[in-house]
A and B are shown apart, each in its own frame.
Chain A
């Protein structure tokens, strides 16, 4: 097997064969899921804990469904019901989880590096479900799977990642994955929302949608949180939409068959116009959700096997 790590903490550092392995396996789970069959013996007797320090119905549900379809016992722990609010540290939580003999730990946390810290202390295989502004590896994998199924390949495609790249873990994971697989990746957004020296991650930076989207096969929009306006990074949502919101006109700068993606949840009228988001010919946003479950099944499957090899 070409995926050799115990955890999935980041896309950065994964080699192309490891990514290809996860995507191929996920592809098989897409077919299994569509056939209505399940594979409930694979993770039978295994415990998967969804440890969410930030709310995310979408990602948590996706992991929950993936775990259940593979037969795992799935437990959801969210910050509002756990003792983390009562002064318990992240590492106290780790020791508690070890005592529960958790096999697979899915972690979402508001701080970059929190899953890596947990991974040092827990016995379970840790899957990063989004940490701060660092990475969100399963999102990048599901985006790649969506692209590969629609375009038949990933290598050589031009991908424009647009919007609040500064605060986006989705953008970082996608940049690492798509550049590793040989895409021409551009990031497009206002200068105040592009991180310092982003070009050194192997992408080109644009502040103008027309230039950034020219010749793009894929237009990936990012969510803009309202607090970015209150912190003064952009003056207003209407100004943002005017220059960086994706509408039919701006999509026209990309290739005629360019696909529109969004990790969700969308702010309609801020970063994306409903006309584009709901266009079945262009938008693959719903398909991304379906791919999410398959990709997470592939990740759980792979990590549970590498865990067994360790033992």
Chain B
């Protein structure tokens, strides 16, 4: 089902911001697509006018990493509730992780998820295909068929591909289809059983530690494997200075290596878990302040290619447990823009760079048309006020899952409205 395009909409007197576009003026959406934009457009008959002082109009955000509760974990979140949260966060395209139940390791499931996205009318879902059957890390899934069905790349979700041989095969085989393999970079034999970053805080709390080196070790290995196979590797939610240095070097050497990070890793450090706060238990774990600062710096120097929400919905019962037993992961759809803008307000990133990290750059990694302001491009848009303030409150967020690590955080940057194919889906 393709939603009916909304009425013509004229955005007027807003800052238009996208890759290659930064001007104050008007933008017209007609028949679900961007018809025109420029310093001043006439108002067509019957067009709805949206005018908002000081607002920014950018492409609908492209979130390249989010887990959906469906299929299999509907008690945590449904696609409908995720779509609601995404719209409230200005997100119009989302790449979904495949480690659901069942895992997205079959072409039919890829098609199903794409269709379920279309049914929402507000969110394009681009599934990742599983690298291995059941995301179990044993035998390769049907990568070619998954791609044909519309998988954007291959990933085992929150599970690291631990076997070097398997990773080599996957990179090599996926290369034949021109596809990337996305790694959760944590050496499982070092991170297994861990609950927090190894160091004095984990020692004080008596929590089993995960050394920061667990990330760098897998990144180093997979860079070598990318070199060996000629394949493309993408590292998800990179969180340590050491891993970022390796990625920086690999890029300088011209290897097909890319990466993303998620807002918790440049906005929070390990102290957020103080007193056993399970909402701040993430995978990878929150790091020391020096690593947090290194992630922010890597956003600024373009080592990091995209910012993804790494949305992981959890039920209250998944979190109301002793820390080591609680499920890792935090929701991130509604806070993706606001937390990213904090890096603009603190001077780390210029606003256009921040928007590119949330739109054009992840769209390019996914190989999709979204994330641009161009004549004829889809009318997927996000209108936000960069200075208006709101406070994140677990329990009050849009959507079903409420497990935010940013509970209580005041954010500068409010989504005023979200449009999908020209139709207003939020605000």
Contact = CB atoms under 8 A, between A and B. Distances in A.
Given A134-B205, A172-B204, A197-B203, A117 B324 contact: no
B345 interface: no
A90 B323 CA distance: 12
Report, as a range, how many residues of chain A touch the other chain. Answer: 20 to 34
Interface in B192-211: 198-200, 202-209, 211
A197 B321 CA distance: 26
Nearest to A132: B206
B317 A89 contact: yes
Interface in A121-167: 131-135
A112 B276 CA distance: 8
A235 interface: no
- Most chain A C-beta atoms within 10 Å of own C-beta, residue among B199, B323, B325: B323
Chain B's interface: helix, strand, loop or mixed, by majority? loop
Contact of A198 (B203, B207, B276): B203
A200 B324 CA distance: 22
A189 B324 CA distance: 25
B254 interface: no
B199 A112 contact: no
Contacts of A132: 206-207, 322, 324
Interface string B201-244: 01111111101000000000000000000000000000000000
Contact of A89 (B207, B320, B324): B320
Nearest to B322: A111
Given A89-B320, A112-B322, A132-B206, A200 B276 contact: no
B204 A90 contact: no
A169 B205 CA distance: 10
Contacts of A196: 198-200, 202-203, 209, 211
B275 interface: yes
A109 B321 CA distance: 12
Interface in A59-116: 89-91, 109, 111-114, 116
Given A116-B276, A196-B198, A196-B209, A111 B324 contact: yes
B190 to A, nearest CB: 13
Interface string B255-299: 000000000000000000001100000000000000000000000
B61 to A, nearest CB: 35
B206 A135 contact: yes
A114 B275 CA distance: 11
A264 interface: no
Contacts of B323: 111-113
6 contacts: A89-B320, A111-B323, A112-B322, A132-B324, A172-B203, A200-B200
Given A112-B322, A172-B206, 9 more contacts: A90-B320, A90-B321, A112-B276, A113-B207, A131-B206, A133-B206, A196-B202, A196-B211, A200-B200
